[in-house]
Structure 1
Amino acid sequence: MTTTTTATRLKLTKLGEHIGARIEGLDLSGPLDSQTVDAIRSALNEHKALVFSQSGIETDEQQELFASHFGPLTTAHPTVTFSEQEKKTVLPVDSEQTIANQWHTDVTFIVNPPQASTLRAITLPPYGGETLIANAAAAYRSLPAEIQKLADGLWAEHSNDSDYVRPRTVNTDKEKAYQEAFVSEKYRTIHPVVRVHPLTGEKGLFIGTFARHLKIVGVSPYESHDILRLLQSHVTRPENVLRVAWEPNQLVLFDNRITQHYAIDNYGRAPRKLNRITVAGDIPRSVEGKSSYSVEGDASHYSPIVDPA
């Protein structure tokens, strides 16, 4: 199915029933008018992940400009830093340092995770290296009604000291240095397991690898793990997942408030690099309207807290 938004000249092709759309014929390398930005935001609200095959973006500065249309930007990462020559907002997702093959939502271990993430292809392997993106709202809708009621009242602790930085093997000094930097300052935040999206009102499962355990009195770690595993299995159902096959200069924009993603390690550790720039986010709210809260760590140097947008 292909449609055209005439007001902004966007050509949009839906990529799956529950997630994903491709947008063609739009040059993102320069300033965008408010009507175009609104159209992209509307498409993002509906499809959760947008693929721009011919984005026109060739530099970090152009990627910064595009991301800034949706709000103030974060710095690269709360704990991982790079040389002075690197753009402060750019996190290189580089196979020489990390492979990110765990299901996660970006930086949920702080109180206001990014609202949106942009990824741009820099160096691609000869095969493989795709990114999977899952719709956490579709996952919630797929739950039986009684499990939804249970999940609505659950809260979980998220931490950067998680399985995300404990791969089965560490092959190089660069990988070890990245892991050490990732946990150089500890963050712990309590988030609702079901987050209400501030723009669409949809409920989504806000969990992933950084969610270590539930905050329920009387529930054992074993029981907590099983509940989270049950909920996570709905997020990663194939019906809820978009598979992005990367192309040169391709850019992907996804809603970090209601998706998870996973970098497939199927390219023999050949060189693979994507540049990530994220848009600052708001504090998540539960079904009852209660806000997330920080237990440990101050991320104000990484991201301002913004109003829902």
Structure 2
Amino acid sequence: MTISIDRPQTGIAVQKLGGRIGARIDGVTLGAGLGDETVAAIRAALLEHKVVFFRGQQHLDDEGHIAFAEQLGSLTTAHPTVNTGSARVFTLTANKGMAANSWHTDVTFVDRIPAISILRGVVIPEYGGTTNWANTVTAYDALPPALRALVDNLWAVHTNDYDYAAQAENGVAIEQQDKLFTRSDFVSTKFETEHPVVRVHPETGERSLVLGHFVKRFVGFNQKESAILFNLLQDRVTKLENTIRWTWQQGDVAMWDNRATQHYAVADFDTQPREVRRITVAGDVPVSIDGRRSNPITGDAGTFSDVAALVS
């Protein structure tokens, strides 16, 4: 059952952008020392709208980005396997071959999936380079009863060490994605985790689908069956009515609830440079509707993230 979300009264303005997902927050300068009421209002907007956007944050540097994020909870390291030069800030630079053009939830191959991702636009191309988000809560809510009965008891294996392109014909079929990093970097430590396909949100009580391109297979299904089932479910997550598309401007910040969304960075900006920087707030270990926690099979994510209590 969904719990109510408190909405503190502050000077910030929240403008809804889509029927199922997305809002813009105005009237706040991100950084340190925002005050408890302002932080609570931002969190409430995030829980309701799943992804929120801030314009005009050109003043924000890595230090200010970190300071803002720390008011929402303890932080993870930049990435479990890839080093882009900072302990906390994960830099994705398109002119170095990085583009995450497939639907995913951040870092689902570990047991402690980050709670919140905060992405800052640093270098924005003149055209293209938009990002899409999808609401995995409303995707679950819209499932027909027979399909919901299946996924309520379904588990999936997520991993960072999986040749998605090679498996597209007989495995979990997804689009060929541009290489984010060298494969040796990304799989320098192998992670594999069993997650419930339906998790209970720790703050709202909502149920959401845990899918995306790190899914290797479903427990109890072979690779061919997993591919069919994955596409059936994933297509429901990414229905256009269930998504929002953001056109970046210099100084924009996007913040999303990583427990209730997937996202897709569109690689349609040719050879233009594009740089965004991400910080992630530590999350919990997903819990199924019958109270079972995700099960790490391979890899210890303890150096990436604590399982931290959220800042309230």
Give the alignment's TM-score, normalised by structure 1: 0.91
Aligned-pair distance for 1:114? 0.4
Aligned-pair distance for 1:30? 2.9
**Separation in structure 1 between the aligned mates of residue 33 and residue 112 of structure 2, nearest angstrom:** 27
Partner of 1:220: 222
**Range with greater deviation from structure 2 (289-298 or 50-59):** 50-59
**Separation in structure 1 between the aligned mates of residue 11 and residue 267 of structure 2, nearest angstrom:** 37
> Of 261, 264, 282, which aligns to 1:262?
264
Residue 183 (1) aligns with residue 187 (2): yes
Give a deviation string over 1:179-218, Cα, whole Å, max 9, x none. Answer: 32001111000000011101111111101000110011xx
How do 1:200-279 residues align onto structure 2 when only pairs under 5 Å count? 200-216=204-220, 219-279=221-281
Partner of 2:145: 145
**Cα gap change, 1:36 to 1:181, in 2 (>3 Å):** same
CA contact (8 A) 1:129 1:264 kept: yes
Secondary structure class of the residue paired with 1:300 = helix
Give the CA RMSD over aligned residues. Answer: 1.8
**Separation in structure 2 between the aligned mates of residue 206 and residue 194 of structure 1, nearest angstrom:** 6
**Separation in structure 2 between the aligned mates of residue 177 and residue 262 of structure 1, nearest angstrom:** 17
Give a deviation string over 1:223-257, Cα, whole Å, max 9, x none. Answer: 12111110100110001111011011100110000
Residue 156 (1) aligns with residue 160 (2): no
Aligned-pair distance for 1:262? 0.4
**Cα gap change, 1:180 to 1:27, in 2 (>3 Å):** same
Secondary structure class of the residue paired with 1:50 = strand
**Separation in structure 2 between the aligned mates of residue 30 and residue 199 of structure 1, nearest angstrom:** 24
**Cα gap change, 1:238 to 1:221, in 2 (>3 Å):** same
CA contact (8 A) 1:162 1:209 kept: no
**Cα gap change, 1:153 to 1:54, in 2 (>3 Å):** same
Aligned-pair distance for 1:99? 0.6
CA contact (8 A) 1:198 1:308 kept: no
Partner of 1:198: 202
> What is the letter of the counterpart of residue 90 of structure 2?
L
Secondary structure class of the residue paired with 2:74 = coil
> What is the letter of the counterpart of residue 100 of structure 2?
A
**Cα gap change, 1:280 to 1:154, in 2 (>3 Å):** same
Partner of 2:108: 108
CA contact (8 A) 1:165 1:182 kept: no
**Separation in structure 1 between the aligned mates of residue 180 and residue 250 of structure 2, nearest angstrom:** 29
Consecutive unaligned residues of structure 2, counting only runs of 5 or more, are 1-6, 167-174
Aligned-pair distance for 1:7? 2.5
Runs of 4+ in 1 over 6 A off after TM superposition: 164-167
Partner of 2:54: 52
**Cα gap change, 1:97 to 1:88, in 2 (>3 Å):** farther
Partner of 1:35: 37
- Name the % identity: 43
**Separation in structure 1 between the aligned mates of residue 310 and residue 202 of structure 2, nearest angstrom:** 6
**Separation in structure 1 between the aligned mates of residue 278 and residue 243 of structure 2, nearest angstrom:** 20
Give the alignment's TM-score, normalised by structure 2: 0.90
